[in-house]
Structure 1
Amino acid sequence: MFGATRRWFRRNRTPIAIGLGVVGAGYVVTQYVLSKINDARERMSSERIAKENLRRRFEQNQEDCTFTVLALLPTATTNILEAMNTEKITYEIQQMKGSAATRAARSVGSLSPPSVSEVTNATDDDGRSMISLQSESGVHASQMVSDASSHAPKEAGEQPASKVRKSKRQLWDELTISAITRAYTLIYTLGLLTMLTRIQLNLLGRRSYLSSVVSLATGSAQATISLEDKDNDNLEGAYGTDFDVNRKYLTFSWWLLNRGWVDLMQRVEAAVREVFGSLSPRETLTLSSFSSLTDQVRKRVEARMPDGTSSTSWLPFLLPPRDMEDMVLRESGILEDDAHAQTAPTSAPPSPASSASLRRLLDETADLIESPSFSHVLTQLLDAGFSLLLNNKLAQAVFDVAPGMQAAGGPGGTGQPLSSASSASQQTNRAVLLPKILSVLTRQAHAIGNGMPNEYLQEMEAVRDLEGFAAVVYSSNWETEIAASQDAAAAAAPASQVSSSPPVAAGEESVVVVDQTGLFESAWEKASA
């Protein structure tokens, strides 16, 4: 029996060997395929967590931008409201009207009847317009008195001998220019501040994300990327690893809030004088005519091209010249803080603007500001702001246009009538006196700069291309930033900590694989579409 079995195996040894080889190879191949499938599954899971992490970080950045704009805007608003004190001009006109009324009353009480000119001056259309302006702007006489008295010392210092008395027409012209310029300057300032803040915080957010990735690649102690922001307790961890550079970089918003708005206001005022300077207080305007005049102002301020794009260089309003960068840091108090932090300085500290990291951030910010995408998105933000002012606030408060009867606004922010053509045409063609329009602009200036919630900021942030632009900023120049971060991390990390395969953390933390083409590289195209 055993001999027969041996003979059978001897005769069939070749097929048996082949069969065993096939089975063994199949087992090996199966294990290999299973291992590859497991690796692919783990890699897909890591990439999914990485994308979710990046998305959540990006969304948190945009929320931070909103709060930052709301925190910084009151500084510029205070400066603009003090520079263009429309309420003070209103009070001066009111005083002049009060004097005319007093003279008319005295004439009535005297033996002789009042002159025609005195009665006319006391009850003319300008007087009625002035009453309307005061009541509808929400500014009372007591507020104007206190405001005027607060500026009295300065005026007394400038003109100690006598004060030049302006005519009624001069005051009305000043009021027209001041009310329009102030409201429009605040819209431009809000749009520029929104764009600058998006650039700054998204550049720092990108640095933070890539620093975390590089720390994983170098096997440093903090070799995980947390998906939680931990309530922003660690500002250094939330926006990069160099707190001093980040603080100095964010300080450059000081330029727009304290210097840039001056040049911007002068540019807007020149355009307003050219367009609105010839109007009298008895002038009547329709919504469409006032919107057309506003569009002319915008074309001059933004140097609008035939295709609707802006050719204005916004960089001088947002960032200082290179030779004034140190001045910005001194004026903002950053250098004083650094001087107090140095307990025993042995030599003169290097120029704060000479830091390579800070220089790279400022140069990239300037490049983004001068890009066509910046002008494109800023134009849309301004369209949204002017559309809200004209087609919503002015249309409803001045021209009695019902909500929904006006358009959302075109590229110029003027808008056109919508449905119910006959009714809408009657409302939008209704003519009102210029002072009534000025009263709403005076009130809306405070809403633009100090509104809580700020409807104008909400309208601008609803522009879809703004998020697309932020995504492009967040995902741009990753290769350069990775190289710089790798050099810094490699220099800081001990050689024993460097490993070619960083560990994978369990739970909500994992190694993040950076797609060098950018996870948000198509965001701009999607937003534009």
Structure 2
Amino acid sequence: MVCYYRDLCIIRDIRIVQKGRGAGRMTRKGLQKHRGKLIASSIILTTLVTTGVCTILFIKRWLYKQQLKITEQHFVKEQIKRRFHQTQQDSLYTMYELVPVLTLVLNKDLDLDQIVETLKGKKLTKKLAQGVPKDSSELDEMGSVVDQPSDSSNSGVSKSKAELWEELKVQSLVKLLTVVYATCMLLLLTRLQLNILARREYLDTAIKIAVDKEGQKGSSIIMTWLNSFWNYGSNALSVSTPPNIENSSEEEDKASSGRNGNKSKDKARYANEQAFLSLSWWLLNRGWLRFKPLVQQQVSAHFGDLSPRDMLTFEEFGGKLSKTIYNINKELFDNHSHNLLVKCFLPEPHLEQFVLQQTLDSDTLRIINEDNTMLRQLVQETFKCSESSASLIVLESLVNESFQFVMQQVEAKVTKKSKKSSQTPSNGAAEAAGEAMAAAAPKFQVALFSIGLKECCQDMLKNGLISMNNEFLQSLDSVPELDDLSASVYSNFGF
């Protein structure tokens, strides 16, 4: 019985083994039958997975590059904007430094203080002839004024009081308009010069950075590895072989010559930039004299028939001053007068050397004489900008802003002086007449306007420690058209 059961188990195991072998044969037959399909499916699946992974990596890298590009563009824009605002601020600070020079130059030719002191001297002399001053302080003041030398006393011709007031009237108007046009031209020229230099500096920096980036992109990893391997082999060989003194000295000479060449280029660039900026000396010392006769002519035409005792309202005075400025602009900004305007801004070619000799040292002049290519380019750019219609519009806007500033200052000063003079004791009839005049449009003597113009010129030409608080320069610097022109020059890389 036991043997029979054992035989049954053996037979069962044999059948199981036979069934397994049959299933294995079926599996092998199935694999052999569908082997091509399985291989193709595996290849397709692998290709799809690889393509998907590569696509995802490529998209991630592309997005990363785009993000870097956008960030870099934003940084460049912010840097350009920051440099632009800094350049305009530098222009204003430069004007603060140039105003004292303009003040000294104008005071030599248009000295209003001397006329006023001469008038005070005549007034005190008249008091002295009438009687002794009441106190010693008035006597001291009289003596200090009378003892001062004057042009009329030096020339041997003593002008009358009426002639002095007439001279003060004309000279105050001429000086005021000269200050207006000279300051506006100087601010415009300074903006043009500094923005042209800032644009060239930024463009050179951008080109240098772009060249460095292209060089970095061109060097691949394999070339870097080969170069490092080659350098390592060369260093290994150099240990076993004695150094070549001649070759090393030649390499040192080449390196030193390259450094010296870069230094000479930097010196030439700096010298040309300094020469370019020093051309503003012309406008400060000679250029304003080109339009001064035009100012004198228009002042005589519109104010020549007025005597210092004539009475004018603020509207009447402003109308005459506005007509004077309008006629000056018409003559100065006319198409046929562009040469006159350019001659005010920049010296003529045959006078450039004279200007450079007045402003530069001998070493800088020697460098300029050797290579002035950059200076010629900068002057040509400034010439094109100064004769453009945009510059004329900006200059006219600056003059109009100056007119508004002058009228506000003159009105405040004349009104203040009129109130002081009205506080003197007077009878009832005079007070009634003053109240009647105050009810209507107030009128003031032309002489009072002349004094107000003199003080207005002093405020417009503030210098020294208080030059940073010059309201006139700040009002001109805030003219929108000036910033628009500066932005156009700064961003116009086509010059």
Q: Is the 8 A contact 1:286 1:428 kept in 2?
A: no
1:171 has 2:164 as partner:
yes
- Alignment correspondent of 2:247: none
- Alignment correspondent of 1:193: 186
1:212 has 2:238 as partner:
no
- Alignment correspondent of 1:267: 294
Instruction: Indicate the larger mover: 443-452 or 366-375.
Output: 443-452
- For residues 17-96 of structure 1, what are the structure 2 equivalents within 5 Å? 17-96=43-122
Provide the C-alpha distance between the structure 1 equivalents of 2:42 and 2:296, rounded to a whole number of angstroms: 97
- Alignment correspondent of 2:403: 386
1:331 has 2:358 as partner:
yes
- 1:217: Cα distance to partner? 3.1
Q: Is the 8 A contact 1:208 1:240 kept in 2?
A: no
- 1:166: Cα distance to partner? 2.3
SS at match of 1:282: coil
- For each residue in 1:491-525, what CA deviation from the matched residue of structure 2 results, as whole angstroms up to 9, or x when unmatched? xxxxxxxxxxxxxxxxxxxxxxxxxxxxxxxxxxx
Using a 3 Å threshold, how does the CA distance of structure 1 residues 260 and 13 change in structure 2: closer, same or farther? same
Provide the C-alpha distance between the structure 2 equivalents of 1:393 and 1:248, rounded to a whole number of angstroms: 37
Q: Percent identity?
A: 24
Provide the C-alpha distance between the structure 1 equivalents of 2:307 and 2:439, rounded to a whole number of angstroms: 23
Match of 1:454 among 470, 474, 482: 470
SS at match of 1:187: helix
Q: Is the 8 A contact 1:303 1:310 kept in 2?
A: yes
Using a 3 Å threshold, how does the CA distance of structure 1 residues 145 and 362 change in structure 2: closer, same or farther? farther
Match of 1:362 among 379, 387, 401: 379
Provide the C-alpha distance between the structure 1 equivalents of 2:382 and 2:440, rounded to a whole number of angstroms: 42
In structure 2, give the amino acid aligned to 1:466.
L
TM-score in terms of structure 2 length: 0.70
Provide the C-alpha distance between the structure 2 equivalents of 1:393 and 1:5, rounded to a whole number of angstroms: 105
- Alignment correspondent of 1:487: none
Provide the C-alpha distance between the structure 1 equivalents of 2:85 and 2:334, rounded to a whole number of angstroms: 29
Q: Is the 8 A contact 1:93 1:171 kept in 2?
A: yes
- For each residue in 1:439-489, what CA deviation from the matched residue of structure 2 results, as whole angstroms up to 9, or x when unmatched? 12111211111253110000001111111111111112x256xxxxxxxxx
Provide the C-alpha distance between the structure 2 equivalents of 1:174 and 1:317, rounded to a whole number of angstroms: 26
Provide the C-alpha distance between the structure 2 equivalents of 1:304 and 1:338, rounded to a whole number of angstroms: 38
In structure 2, give the amino acid aligned to 1:182.
K
- 1:55: Cα distance to partner? 1.2
In structure 2, give the amino acid aligned to 1:51.
K
- 1:28: Cα distance to partner? 2.3
SS at match of 1:38: helix
Rg: which structure is higher? 2
SS at match of 2:212: coil
Match of 1:184 among 165, 177, 180: 177
Q: Is the 8 A contact 1:385 1:456 kept in 2?
A: yes
- 1:54: Cα distance to partner? 1.1
Using a 3 Å threshold, how does the CA distance of structure 1 residues 183 and 479 change in structure 2: closer, same or farther? closer
Q: Is the 8 A contact 1:89 1:171 kept in 2?
A: yes
- Alignment correspondent of 2:281: 254
Name stretches of at least 5 consecutive residues in structure 2 with no aligned partner.
1-23, 133-140, 217-262, 418-436
Q: Is the 8 A contact 1:81 1:182 kept in 2?
A: no
Using a 3 Å threshold, how does the CA distance of structure 1 residues 70 and 11 change in structure 2: closer, same or farther? closer
- For residues 118-517 of structure 1, what are the structure 2 equivalents within 5 Å? 148-149=148-149, 156=154, 159=155, 163-219=156-212, 242-303=269-330, 312-313=337-338, 314-332=341-359, 334-338=360-364, 351=369, 355-390=372-407, 392-399=408-415, 429-451=441-463, 452=466, 453-476=469-492, 478-479=493-494
- Alignment correspondent of 2:240: none
In structure 2, give the amino acid aligned to 1:40.
Q
Name stretches of at least 5 consecutive residues in structure 1 with no aligned partner.
107-139, 224-235, 343-348, 402-424, 481-529
Provide the C-alpha distance between the structure 2 equivalents of 1:248 and 1:254, rounded to a whole number of angstroms: 10
- Alignment correspondent of 1:97: 123
Using a 3 Å threshold, how does the CA distance of structure 1 residues 428 and 396 change in structure 2: closer, same or farther? farther
Using a 3 Å threshold, how does the CA distance of structure 1 residues 240 and 211 change in structure 2: closer, same or farther? farther
Provide the C-alpha distance between the structure 1 equivalents of 2:108 and 2:142, rounded to a whole number of angstroms: 18
Provide the C-alpha distance between the structure 1 equivalents of 2:207 and 2:343, rounded to a whole number of angstroms: 35
Provide the C-alpha distance between the structure 1 equivalents of 2:363 and 2:284, rounded to a whole number of angstroms: 21
In structure 1, give the amino acid aligned to 2:189.
L
More helix by share: 2
In structure 2, give the amino acid aligned to 1:359.
R
Provide the C-alpha distance between the structure 2 equivalents of 1:75 and 1:11, rounded to a whole number of angstroms: 95
Provide the C-alpha distance between the structure 2 equivalents of 1:387 and 1:21, rounded to a whole number of angstroms: 78
- Alignment correspondent of 1:484: none
Provide the C-alpha distance between the structure 1 equivalents of 2:123 and 2:438, rounded to a whole number of angstroms: 34
- 1:7: Cα distance to partner? 5.3
In structure 1, give the amino acid aligned to 2:372.
S
